[in-house]
Amino acid sequence: MPQFAAISRERHANKAWRRYTDYHFAARETLLPLVIAELSRAAVNMPTALISQEDGFKLVAVTALAPGKNLFVAPSGQWLGNYVPAVLRGYPFRLIRPQNAQDPVLCIDEDSGLLTEDDDGESFFDAQGNPTELVKQIMDFLAQVEHSRVATDLAVAAIAEAGLIEPWPMKLKKDGQEVEVTGLHRISEAKFNALDDEAFVKLRHAGALPIAILQMVSMQQIMVFDRLLQLQERLNQNKGSQSVDLDNVFGNDQSGTLRFDFQ
């Protein structure tokens, strides 16, 4: 369970942090929040969907159809795709807005195993007590994500108001039987195509058209799960073996960590 604490000189001046080196921390994350700034990359690499929450529908990347699994994470922890969602690239940091506070603060998951008192880690503060350049980059990146998240939520709300969201019916084969997958929603192509001019322009002004179109496009990526399941089986059979070249499976160009952009 993540335990986020606000980064402060009092708490972290004599501590350091390590960059993550694999994606084991995301191995059970079936749904990953997405923002519009990254959607053009995400939509051609993985299925995206909409899920209903208390404060409205949210845009997510789908990493598996079975709960508690992420088929994009190899047994070794390597990412098996061409795009890593921004929510993972900021790990173990997060911007959190304290109750009754106007601005969010930078926090770190102290249960991540990446917080250390060793000298080989990354410092939080420089000799003058200011955040290091790397910490500033992280703050800037997460601020960009948060800014885009606000725009994304407003656009998705406009899509919902237009009545374009419907359940996404799917079935998963489990133990030789078909099990219905519930909770995922999609844009109705029929309703989208039937929009009148006024409703279409309203969605354009809300910045919602790219989300609607790219979500529909991304549904074709549901076929990637068959490839990932086969690859996961091969990897489990070859544990400790170097016979599977993961870098060439999907043309993987995401070997780095903490990439602070939406590319």
- The ranges assigned to domains in the chain are 4-235
User: What predicted TM-score, i.e. pTM, was given to this entire model?
Assistant: 0.89
What's the burial of 171, exposed, middle or buried (CB within 10 Å: 0-12/13-18/19+)?
A: exposed
Q: Report pLDDT for 256.
A: 46
pLDDT band with cut points at 50, 70 and 90 for residue 85: very high
Which of the 8 DSSP states describes residue 118? S
Q: Beta-strand (E) ranges in the chain?
A: 4-6, 16-17, 31-33, 48-53, 56-62, 93-96, 105-109, 115-116, 122-123, 165-167, 170-174, 177-181, 185-187
Percent of the chain, pLDDT > 90?
A: 78
- pLDDT exceeds 70 at position 142: yes
- pLDDT exceeds 60 at position 132: yes
Q: Report pLDDT for 238.
A: 78
Q: Report pLDDT for 255.
A: 43
Q: Are 212 and 164 in contact (CB under 8 A)?
A: yes
Cis amide linkage into residue 104, ω under 30° from 0: no
| Structure tokens given for 257 | 């960590």
